[in-house]
A = this chain, B = another copy of it.
Amino acid sequence: MPRTDVAAKATPLTRLRRRPDRGAYDFAALAAVLDAQPLAHVGYAIGGQPLVTPTLQWREGSRVYWHGSAASRMLKAAAGAPVCLTVSLLDGFVMARSAFNHSVNYRSAMLFGKAELVTDPAAKAQHLERMVEGLFPGRWNELRPMTAKELKATAVLSMAIDLGSAKLRQGPPKDEGADLEQPVWAGVLPVRLVTGAPQDDGKLKPGVSVPDYLTRFSFG
């Protein structure tokens, strides 16, 4: 997997960064955020109107993928159009001694590019297998194969990971001077995503038990 220098290509967009000191323009930082959180928010611009939709993403090497219904006009409109795919993890509330210095700890990846539609049915099935196996290793082969009709009804989109930025903030608040004399609690209230106990649907065949990949699942 090539390490892509996203910094070099991101020049036209650097002016949009909010906090230059929080930028991290390397592939490894971007990939780490994508791999830690499947939920993405994909932004399209349709006739000048921004549209932000939540969807699951998965990474294969230096590309990111997402999918949806082939009947979706939005996904059709996205093919070949500029998109922004953002993945964020809220890691904590940073409680400072002044309102102004309050912040959040977070990790985020923002990717820019043109969405490409995967058209070959076999390739589509392979990408969907990677999605399922990336989340729940071993599950794909427990399922019956996808039908041609199901593959036709599924749109898979992808984008190269070569323009974007990763940002993060970690650590305690940064109070200074007289603010440190304030008799108020300061620190971090950590936040994380967790999974609960798997809830079966009451229709399991005899002998089917909770698979290991569910109890082992965790967000990064």
Q: In the complex, how many angstroms separate the beta carbon of A21 from the nearest chain B beta carbon?
A: 12
User: A44, B39: Cβ atoms under 8 Å?
Assistant: no
Given A85-B52, A86-B53, A146-B100, is A203 in contact with B190 using a C-beta cutoff of 8 Å? no
Q: Are A45 and B42 in contact (CB under 8 A)?
A: no
Q: Are B54 and A44 in contact (CB under 8 A)?
A: no
Work out how many copies of this chain go into the complex. 2
In the complex, A1 has a CB within 8 A of chain B: no
List 7 A-B pairs, minimum CB-CB distance, nearest first: A43-B50, A190-B196, A43-B52, A187-B200, A41-B41, A172-B201, A45-B45
A-B contact pairs, 28 of them (CB 8 A): A13-B49, A43-B50, A48-B82, A49-B112, A52-B85, A53-B110, A54-B86, A54-B108, A97-B143, A99-B129, A99-B140, A99-B143, A100-B154, A142-B185, A143-B182, A143-B184, A144-B179, A175-B201, A183-B205, A183-B208, A187-B198, A187-B199, A187-B201, A189-B199, A189-B217, A190-B195, A192-B193, A192-B194
